[in-house]
Amino acid sequence: MGRWSLNRCECGHSYGTMGGSDSRCLRCGSTKSREVRIFDDPQSLSEAVAASNMPKEIADELEKRISSYNLRLQKPHSAESHSSQHVAAMMDATGDDGQLTLSSLSRSLERMDIHGTTAEKLIGQAEFEGRLIREGQDTWSWLQQSS
């Protein structure tokens, strides 16, 4: 295992060297530099050199894009969590006879402290998805079981 150094030249350019080797700037050729940080492997050094030489504007834009991408990745997980809570409330509200009513679902949502939706919206979505079929004025039956 070698010793890898991140060096910064007086011209502002960063470059890497393996410990003990001649330290000369790759941009201007100067030998006037300072050791900024030590790494145990060349991969880490390579990433540090690239990050050090990246213009601030580009680094800021990359950070924004990465943050935005990470937020988008997290959203489906929270949507899945809400969806499973909604299905659990609907199953809880289904009577022994297999019937689901608006009032039983409203009570289940309240009891399970689920906010941000209504019984009407959940039943409408389940009808649209083909999970429920209307049996009467305020009564629905499951077409397929959900887990």
Phi, psi of 38 (to 5 degrees): -110, 140
What is the residue-averaged pLDDT of the chain? Answer: 85
The whole-number average pLDDT for the span 103-127 is 92
| E strand residue ranges, the chain | 4-9, 14-18, 33-39, 99-101, 132-136, 139-142
Q: Does residue 144 carry a pLDDT above 70?
A: no
- Please report the pLDDT score of residue 53 as a whole number: 92
The whole-number average pLDDT for the span 1-19 is 88
- Please report the pLDDT score of residue 1 as a whole number: 57
Q: Compute the distance between CA of residue 42 and CA of residue 3 in angstroms, rounded to an integer.
A: 9
The whole-number average pLDDT for the span 82-97 is 87
- What spatial distance separates the first Cα and last Cα of the chain, rounded to whole Å? 52
- Please report the pLDDT score of residue 9 as a whole number: 94
Q: At what angle do helices 119-128 and 56-93 cross, to 10 degrees?
A: 90
What are the tens digits of pLDDT across the range 27-81? 999 999 999 999 999 999 999 999 899 998 988 888 888 887 777 666 544 445 6
Q: Specify the DSSP class assigned to residue 3.
A: -
pTM across the whole model: 0.45
